Amino acid sequence: MRKSEGGLVYSTESGRMCPACRQPLAGCACAARAAAALKGDGVARVSRESKGRGGKTVTLVRGLALDAEALAALGKKLRSACGTGGTVKDGVLEIQGDHAERVVELLKAEGFVAKRAGG
């Protein structure tokens, strides 16, 4: 059965059902698997991008195998060191401006394997 076809959402026996694995939420293992399978291979790839952003340049950091809280904390450190804003979206750190070289140095100082990606 495909997810788009719908399915059992609530059962009077067990309550709400997980939409991904169709198991009761109390016995669902999807969250545990998602936490175990962190995005990234441990190599931080730092790139610069300006497409689709109205000409504004952002520095992107991909590939860090960190959970959401650790990624947010690292993003805060990088943003404050660069003196700029940014966000975390879908496991990718976005830092406003062209700070690729500085971010690579900061990541290496934090103990991460970091390299420059793109042009």
Paired strand residues for 87: 94
Q: Which range marks the domain in which residue 64 is found?
A: 43-116
9 and 57 share a domain?
no
Give residue for tokens 């497409």. 51
Instruction: Kindly indicate the confidence band of residue 5, based on its pLDDT and cuts at 50, 70 and 90.
Output: low
Rounded Cα gap, residues 66 and 70, in angstroms: 6
Over the stretch 60-73, which tens digit does the pLDDT of each residue have?
Answer: 999 888 888 899 99
The answer to whether the pTM exceeds 0.95 is no
For residue 37, what pLDDT is reported?
53
99 and 57 share a domain?
yes
26 and 79 share a domain?
no
Mean pLDDT of 14-41: 71
31 and 89 share a domain?
no
20 and 52 share a domain?
no
CA distances (Å), origin 82, targets 15, 97, 101: 48, 9, 11
For residue 98, what pLDDT is reported?
93
Q: Output 36 or 79, whichever has higher pLDDT.
A: 79
pLDDT more than 90, % of the chain: 44
Domain CATH code at residue 64: 3.30.780.10
For residue 86, what pLDDT is reported?
93
28 and 59 share a domain?
no
105 and 63 share a domain?
yes
104 and 47 share a domain?
yes
57 and 9 share a domain?
no
47 and 85 share a domain?
yes
Give residue for tokens 């650790």. 70
Q: How many domains does the chain have?
A: 2
Of 59, 53, 46, 68, which is closest to residue 99 (Cα–Cα)? 59
* Residue 16 tokens, joined: 């709400």
